[in-house]
Amino acid sequence: MDLFEYQGKSLYGNYDIAHPNSFLINEIEDLNQGFDLAYPVVVKAQVQVGGRGKAGGIKLANNNEELTKYSNEILGMDIKGHTVERILIEEASEIKEEYYLSFTLDRSEKKYLMMLSAKGGMDIEAVAEENPDDLTMVHIDPSQGLDEEIILEAIINSKLNPDYQQELLEIISRLFELFVTGDCDLVEVNPLAITAGGVMALDSKVSLDMNAKYRHEYFDKIENEIPIPPSEKAAKEKGLNFIKLDGTVGIIGNGAGLVMSTLDVVAEYGGSASNFLDIGGGAKAETVSAALEVLESDDSVSSVFINIFGGITRCDLVAEGIVEATTGKDLKWPIVIRLDGTNAIEGLKILKDNPNEKIIITKTMNQAAELAVKGNN
């Protein structure tokens, strides 16, 4: 689960990780409560998407008037489809140098991976591609952990300021402790900065492993603060395996592999999926009906592609679910269907016996993807 910046920084406090003083507001009236920060302050939109600075979601305020003005402008702002509902206001730092640090999992190596660079405050992917020597990558054996010698070697190899070596060692150690004991999939700080007040984590990108939820009571509180799209909430209530995406073609399939392939073929024809929705093996009519109801709650959907390859899943039951969900309804988008496998002939007959002008039956996955993308335009 990806956290907002303010949530990640709240975890910093549990590990004595230095970061700027700040407070959170949900509405302009919260500014009237008063705060103990010194100007200038940085007004930062809290959204789970990159590029907020370029979008105008980060401003420097030098006084109360500017703070109110920028807060008004940023609250409610749309940044790449994400509405700003919270703002983090924090003391501006006098930055001397900016570094990059992250801890994540390298599953191919079955080890943790630390990445450190003196080129902080910029796109680390670009650094890795254009100047790979500027990025130090260190694999860490989980059974041995991260000792001081490894950290110091990484600091030296990354050519970080030697005058702050001890402070860097301590903050990197604490961030690694957060990563491991906090059950994180990712801890990224960009920038990790040398400031007039010492070494500080000026940003926070943290992702939690929700499989470890039973070990951390605060996971529930954090999860409850993250808004869930209506479609994702509806899917969760119906017990469906659903992930919201940024596209416009609604996807329903049986089996994660088939759904992933469906996303790929839609992309090949110039479309993009609005979701990942796996009804699983052995899905019944009511499961298919529930899946279509979920997509009805998603305003971003412009067409639907149902891709079923029957094994355990029976195509006739899928067809019954489609008929149940669409009969008597004025569908707001076309539904393109590809049925193959167990009881496909029976399933196709059910659909043909219950015609709907918005339902399109195809023979192949490629044909279905092409029509779903066309129906989307």
Contact 157, 136 (CB under 8 A): yes
| Cβ–Cβ < 8 Å for 49, 79 | yes
- With H, G, I as helix, E, B as strand and everything else as coil, classify residue 266: helix
- How many angstroms separate the CA atoms of 106 and 55, rounded? 32
Q: CB burial class (10 A; 0-12, 13-18, 19+) of residue 120?
A: buried
**Catalytic pick among 188, 296, 320, 370:** 188
Provide the 10 A C-beta neighbour count for residue 232: 18
Identify whether the C-beta of residue 101 lies closer than 8 Å to the C-beta of residue 188: yes
188 is known as an active-site residue: yes
Residue 100 annotated as catalytic: yes
Q: Measure CA 287 to chain center.
A: 26
In the set 98, 100, 296, 370, the catalytic residue is 100
Distance CA 198, CA 214 (A): 36
Would you report the helix, strand and coil content of the chain in percent, each value rounded to 5?
Answer: 40, 25, 35
Burial of 2 (0-12, 13-18, 19+ CB in 10 A): middle
For the chain, the C-alpha Rg in angstroms (whole number) is 25
359: Cα within 13 Å, side-chain hemisphere = 22
Catalytically annotated residues:
100, 188
